[in-house]
Chain A
Amino acid sequence: MSQNAKNQTDKNSAVKEEEKDSPVLIQMAIFASILFVSSLISPLFPASFPVPTPVIGLVLLYLLLLTGVVKLHMVKKFAEFMIGLIAFLFVPSGIQLAASLDIMKQQGWQLIIVIILSTIILLVVTAYTTNGFMWLRKHVLHRSTDVE
């Protein structure tokens, strides 16, 4: 393929990407295929190193997008829809705690406090550690840390 023709097709696909989302059923089919393949890969990891199906699926879809096998317009609408629902999808997990009320009784209020503080620790420590590495990047390596 000549350079010109290649540019032309690139341009075309870029325009298409802007223009039209794939039908919902196609988008769901891509998600279903990735989940299915991931569910086959997941058991290959040893029991001491669990990598669950959705985590493999996230990496797979990311790689497919990177390599251009799957274009953004083929998955974007459904992905946004699913992410918009996530707080609701988590309600059954929250209600699942009804089955763990006994554990809470056994372990007591200390456990709940430790979990609340641990959550804050994870958020703040990770964020501040990142700040530290960004500071190093800027002041020691003299590289830009600007994010628009």
Chain B
Amino acid sequence: MILELTQTSTYPWAKWLGDALSVVPGKNLYFGIFLSIIVFLIGQWLFKISNGFFLFQPLFVGMVLGIFVLWLMAKGFHTDIATFYTSAYKPGGDLIFWFLNPATIAFAVPLYERNDIVKRFFVEIFLSLIVGTVISLYAIYYLSRLFGLSAQGIASMLPQAATTAVAMPISTAIGGNAAVTAMACILNAVIIYALANWLIKIFHLNADPIGAGLGLGTAGHTVGSAKALQLGSVQGSMASISVVVISIVVDLVVPPFAHLMGLM
């Protein structure tokens, strides 16, 4: 598929840029990589000069700024943002995205480094994650109904505690929309990365490092685990184990739960 951005542009410079960007998807990786790094660095810079204002978290700024740049460029090329994203940004973005695979595996190291905690609190960790997920499912279900989401919308919300790769197929299986679920998983991570410190403070979560770690890993996936690691080795280790266990718990618990609630 070749997207003809050039024919819809009226300016000569736009024709040149469009030529460079509207290639066979997968060929021009440079734009996606370039934009990702630049917007993230701007985020880091803003975070630094604002003395750590929570809305200027680099990930959040990078996301908003990146989408804004794509929206602006799509406007310039008279195309819609989804098409422009797919043809110009996605090839390079996917390349960076791939490195989340080794980054996820890397959490085995902080997990192993605090294996003493894992061994001692094995039972508590597993029980907390299973019971916590079931309680959260009820809460998310009734919250979704309170806000008047459709059955499809509710089904899309339920699997979000798992990592995206687990949550999407489960969502489809229980009658949800996989794209909405993916969006929820991504926003989970962005929200946790931005608000973790504040949430920990107002809910007094730091009194129990094990609970804080398990919570951050469950709510924020791998990004939450990175955040937990900044708080301490116990938190990081617990968040790492929750990423694995929660995915399996969601696999096992969410389909029967959806059945119970009459969603499927």
Rounded to whole angstroms, the CA-CA distance of A96 and B107 in the bound complex is: 24
Cβ contacts B59-80/A at 8 Å (1 or 0 each): 1101100110011000000000
Q: Which of B135, B149, B173 contacts A48 (CB 8 A)?
A: B173
**SS class of chain B's interface: helix, strand, loop or mixed?**
helix
Please determine whether A110 and B148 come into contact, CB atoms closer than 8 angstroms: yes
Rounded to whole angstroms, the CA-CA distance of A76 and B260 in the bound complex is: 44
Closest CB of chain A to B81's CB: distance in Å?
5
Q: Which residues of A contact B170 (CB under 8 A)?
A: 50
Rounded to whole angstroms, the CA-CA distance of A103 and B58 in the bound complex is: 25
Quick check: is B190 within 8 A (CB to CB) of the other chain? yes
Rounded to whole angstroms, the CA-CA distance of A117 and B92 in the bound complex is: 32
Q: Which residues of B contact A79 (CB under 8 A)?
A: 105-110
Rounded to whole angstroms, the CA-CA distance of A94 and B183 in the bound complex is: 9
Please determine whether A124 and B157 come into contact, CB atoms closer than 8 angstroms: no
Please determine whether B149 and A114 come into contact, CB atoms closer than 8 angstroms: yes
Cβ contacts A8-51/B at 8 Å (1 or 0 each): 00000000000000000000000110110010000000011111
Closest CB of chain A to B93's CB: distance in Å?
3
**SS class of chain A's interface: helix, strand, loop or mixed?**
helix
Question: B interface, how many residues as a size bin?
Answer: 35 or more
Rounded to whole angstroms, the CA-CA distance of A86 and B188 in the bound complex is: 14
Quick check: is B131 within 8 A (CB to CB) of the other chain? yes
Q: Which of A53, A60, A91, A126 contacts B39 (CB 8 A)?
A: A91
Rounded to whole angstroms, the CA-CA distance of A63 and B195 in the bound complex is: 33
Please determine whether B63 and A72 come into contact, CB atoms closer than 8 angstroms: no
Most chain B CB within a 10 A radius of its CB, from A65, A78, A107, A127:
A127
Q: A65-B109, A101-B82, A121-B143 are in contact. Are A50 and B165 (CB under 8 A)?
A: yes
- Residue ranges of B at the interface with A (Cβ–Cβ < 8 Å): 32, 35-37, 39-40, 58-60, 62-63, 66-67, 70-71, 81-82, 85-86, 89-90, 93-94, 96-97, 99-113, 115, 117, 121, 124-125, 127-129, 131-133, 135-136, 139-140, 143-144, 147-149, 153, 157, 160-161, 163-166, 169-170, 173, 177, 179-180, 182-184, 186-193, 195-196, 199, 203, 205, 207-212, 214-216, 218-220, 222-223, 225-226, 229, 234, 240, 242-244, 247-248, 251-252, 255
- Residue ranges of A at the interface with B (Cβ–Cβ < 8 Å): 31-32, 34-35, 38, 47-55, 57-62, 65-66, 72, 75-76, 78-80, 82-104, 107, 110-134, 137, 147
14 cross-chain CB contacts under 8 A? A52-B165, A54-B100, A55-B247, A58-B243, A79-B110, A86-B100, A87-B223, A88-B40, A92-B93, A96-B90, A100-B179, A118-B184, A119-B220, A124-B199
